[in-house]
Structure 1
Amino acid sequence: MEHRIREAKGTILIYKGEPICYNILNTFAEQLGEALQRLGEEVEYFDVKQSGEAALAAYAGKTYQAVIGFQSYLFDIYLPKAGIYLHDLIKGPKINFQFDHPIWMKNHYIRMPEHCYSATHDRNYAAFIEKYYPRIAGSSIIFPGGCEKAAGENGKQEAERNLRGAQDKKEYQISFIGTYTDYRSYLPLIRNSQGIIKKIAAHFLFRMKQHPEETAEKALEESLRKDGIVLSDEEFLEVLDGVKPMIYCIMSYYREKAVKVILEAGITLEVFGDSWKKSPFGDSPYLRIHEAVDMRESLEVMEKSLISFNVMAWHKDGFTERIANSMLQHSVVLTDESTYLKEQFTDGKDILMYRLNELYKIPELLTDYLEGAGRDNLQMIAENAYRKAKENYTWEQSAKKLLAFIDEIDAKERKCSEK
């Protein structure tokens, strides 16, 4: 989606918040803001951790081109004495970026002010929001962008040198940025739950294990159908909210199993953070545990890696910044497949993909690309992926799509006001 030259439309307000998950959401906010500024937009930040929610009252009556959040809970602040949401007093469309499954924002999305929209990286999430959260006025697919570590005056030339000689200079064969969580820690939640949640949670978890290609909501639908349970949309949402920890459970299960097959094949894997010391294979000679890295530091890890291993967080039709960042660091991505990835990328040409229900194939694939005939193709894959990511998956591209979405919202709301 090309970004046309736009006349000045006002400031874009971006919310920053809690430094969760190695500060990734705040990093996203900053990277998007910087990209918007490079496109000539005026950007203002509000840091809720630094200023507190009460400070937002000063923004009532102000008008912005848009107000942007990253899984922010600020939009549903309600003023009981006035009988109104605070953001009904802050003019301009509100757009909340959604990266986790939207069920995690249920209590927020069921009570929202007017003119609220979402942006997400997974088409299934957009469809879920449209079906179950009618207070959200609309959604757009906008991926979190990637960025290159190479910077400075000679950044472009440095990037080209990296691209040409990348595969001969890599320090790591295969790295994995993800942390370790013991999936077993979620299982007591099934035993301790009540009512329909207790009845359905185990079936839900088993369905996701047997059919890892399905979305969480599809797995729940099938589990309910098997048990002969019929629910309204509102009831379904409540049940999914009740069993949502099982989504993290199954994500952690497949992450552990994927790492296990790599290590058992005698392939060295570089991982980061003390969480891996608590894993069942923390003492494996093939698991090299490094200090934890934040998102910006992870770029250096990817730059050093022939292959960047990835396990999606149950995004069945999406694309993530970890994939984009790996590609922009000239590292070949090995990831579980998604519908979007299969449509936009070609396995063996600009990406390597595996299926969660065929983890046993990973060692053979890695051995071929690291030691066998496929080794000569790594450079080609890295080059193809770098060019595709550079053209389509940077924060500048995300910013352009956001501005186009703002224009679309503006046109829609103008048309409605004229009726």
Structure 2
Amino acid sequence: MKIVLFKNTVESQEFFSFVLAEAFREMGHEVFIYDCGDPLVSFRYLVEFIEMGNTVIFAFNFNGMINDPCLCEDRDPVFLKKTGLPYFNMVVDHPFYYHEEFAHVPPNYVQLCIDKNHIRYMKRFFPHIDADHYMELAGTQLRGSSEKKQWELTADDLIPYEKRRDDIIFTGNYILPESYEKYLEPLEQPVADFYHRIFRELRENPSKTLEDHLELRIREEFGDKVTDDYLRQCFANMIMLDLQIRHYFRGQAVSAIADAGYRITVYGAGYEDLPCRHKENIINKGNVNSRKCLEAIAQSRVSLNVMPWFKDGPHDRVFNTMLNGAISLSDHSRALDEYFTDRDDIVFYDLQKIDHIVEDYAWIMDHPAEARDLALKGYEEAKKAHTWKHRALELEKMFKTALAK
């Protein structure tokens, strides 16, 4: 089988693609990585590579389907339409970010969703799209200086828990929630007030999905005359709330730990803007790439996770943490609750009681022997089912089914 992937895209997505490419090649498949940064040259090699009936395309967030001068005309994916190549797209954000893209999907489009709520959303608002496919993100164990293949690494290749450099880190950017207020200035006051109300209520009850809570409040305002078309337009105009609420809780988690007197190292942009009484406890390493994040996790005992409002799906930060021998200190999602057990292979905290994260972290620091065992159990659980090799095997089955049609 021949598989097309993409590079020179969003950095994290490119990293995922490179790890998948390694897995696919080890499984005996040919892989071509299309260079979105040099499309004129890459397109020529792509045409030479493809073999009709034996080639599939796999992308993250519509790579190669939009805004490529050789594969598209404006937003029309003419190359995919002409060739009929199966195009598998793993959407790693909420679907309401991509309403415009959904208007241009080719007939051979298959969407993979990383949260089961996203499947429910697609079935309701875009039922014509083949999106009833759930596939989670995965993690990568840092190879370091080892010459082993990615999938041959074991717990023996990890830095011992007690010899790690850092106690706790967080990998991810921060944007001051108030900075989104400038986007509300053109709005009429009742609309801005509605926006502020939703933001406040999500802070108070963070178990709700954004779309469910928005629909509840919209129907309270307008009653049964609210249609799915109207809701779809509302959701597309509220994506700032998704960003604002995730950064609010990132800030709350990091500042709670720092203000309790613990030093926390952060890898990402924006932390100079974080309101915090004890900023001296935040060690700001700035923005780094995916590999540097893995290197940091591999040197840390604990890696903080704040879910990006996925309520029924995991996040790769959790799996990366476990596969590199650190403890994941994470808020809940239904998927994480299903896979892991609090204080056995993960440590959970509650967004609704965010201040209690300090007690959860203190338990880890006060019980080093139990923490070391917990980190190892987390590693073993992630190694069983949550590497990119596991996802490559799942994708291989889907690819073969598509090519057999």
What TM-score, normalized by structure 1, do the two folds share?
0.86
Distance 1:365 1:326 in 2: 17
Structure 2 equivalent of residue 34 of structure 1? 22
Alignment map for 1:352-391 (pairs within 5 Å): 352-371=347-366, 374-391=367-384
How far did 1:57 drift? 12
Q: Quick check: 1:345–1:351 contact (8 Å CA) kept in 2?
A: yes
Alignment map for 1:18-417 (pairs within 5 Å): 18=9, 20=10, 23-51=11-39, 55=43, 59=47, 63=52, 64-72=54-62, 74-75=64-65, 85-150=78-143, 152-153=146-147, 159-162=154-157, 166-193=160-187, 198=192, 200-229=194-223, 230-281=225-276, 284-371=279-366, 374-410=367-403, 414=405
CA 1:282–1:271: 2 relative to 1, 3 Å: farther
Q: Quick check: 2:329–2:361 contact (8 Å CA) kept in 1?
A: no
Q: Quick check: 2:113–2:136 contact (8 Å CA) kept in 1?
A: yes
How far did 1:278 drift? 2.6
Q: Quick check: 1:175–1:308 contact (8 Å CA) kept in 2?
A: yes
Structure 1 range deviating more: 200-209 or 294-303: 200-209
* Percent of aligned pairs sharing the same letter: 22
Distance 1:80 1:296 in 2: 34
Q: Quick check: 1:112–1:135 contact (8 Å CA) kept in 2?
A: no
Distance 1:150 1:264 in 2: 35
Distance 1:235 1:56 in 2: 43
One-letter identity of the residue aligned with 2:56? A
RMSD over aligned Cα atoms: 2.9
Q: Quick check: 1:13–1:43 contact (8 Å CA) kept in 2?
A: yes
How far did 1:43 drift? 1.0
SS at structure 1 position matched to 2:222: coil
Q: Quick check: 2:267–2:293 contact (8 Å CA) kept in 1?
A: no
SS at structure 2 position matched to 1:308: strand
How far did 1:187 drift? 2.1
How far did 1:338 drift? 0.2
How far did 1:145 drift? 2.3
How far did 1:392 drift? 0.6
SS at structure 2 position matched to 1:111: coil
Distance 1:352 1:197 in 2: 39
Which sections of structure 2, spanning at least 5 residues, go unmatched? none
How far did 1:141 drift? 1.9
CA 1:14–1:73: 2 relative to 1, 3 Å: closer
CA 1:390–1:54: 2 relative to 1, 3 Å: closer
* Runs of 4+ with deviation above 4 angstroms: 52-62, 76-81, 154-159, 194-199
How far did 1:195 drift? 9.3
One-letter identity of the residue aligned with 1:51? P
What TM-score, normalized by structure 2, do the two folds share?
0.89
Structure 1 range deviating more: 29-38 or 267-276: 267-276
How far did 1:73 drift? 5.1
Distance 1:86 1:135 in 2: 21
Distance 2:46 2:4 in 1: 13
CA 1:396–1:84: 2 relative to 1, 3 Å: closer
One-letter identity of the residue aligned with 1:375? P
Structure 2 equivalent of residue 5 of structure 1? none
Which sections of structure 1, spanning at least 5 residues, go unmatched? 1-9, 415-419
CA 1:199–1:405: 2 relative to 1, 3 Å: farther
How far did 1:114 drift? 0.1
One-letter identity of the residue aligned with 2:234? V
Distance 1:401 1:124 in 2: 20
Q: Quick check: 1:200–1:224 contact (8 Å CA) kept in 2?
A: no
Q: Quick check: 2:8–2:35 contact (8 Å CA) kept in 1?
A: yes
CA 1:251–1:32: 2 relative to 1, 3 Å: same
One-letter identity of the residue aligned with 2:199? L
CA 1:365–1:404: 2 relative to 1, 3 Å: same
CA 1:286–1:276: 2 relative to 1, 3 Å: same
What are the superposed Cα offsets for residues 127-159 of structure 1, whole Å, 9 maximum, x if unpaired?
222222234223322222211113534679984
Distance 2:246 2:177 in 1: 8
One-letter identity of the residue aligned with 1:13? V
Distance 2:328 2:113 in 1: 21
Q: Quick check: 2:32–2:46 contact (8 Å CA) kept in 1?
A: no
Distance 2:394 2:189 in 1: 44
Q: Quick check: 1:62–1:91 contact (8 Å CA) kept in 2?
A: no
Q: Quick check: 2:34–2:43 contact (8 Å CA) kept in 1?
A: no
Distance 2:148 2:383 in 1: 17
One-letter identity of the residue aligned with 2:337? K
Q: Quick check: 1:311–1:336 contact (8 Å CA) kept in 2?
A: yes
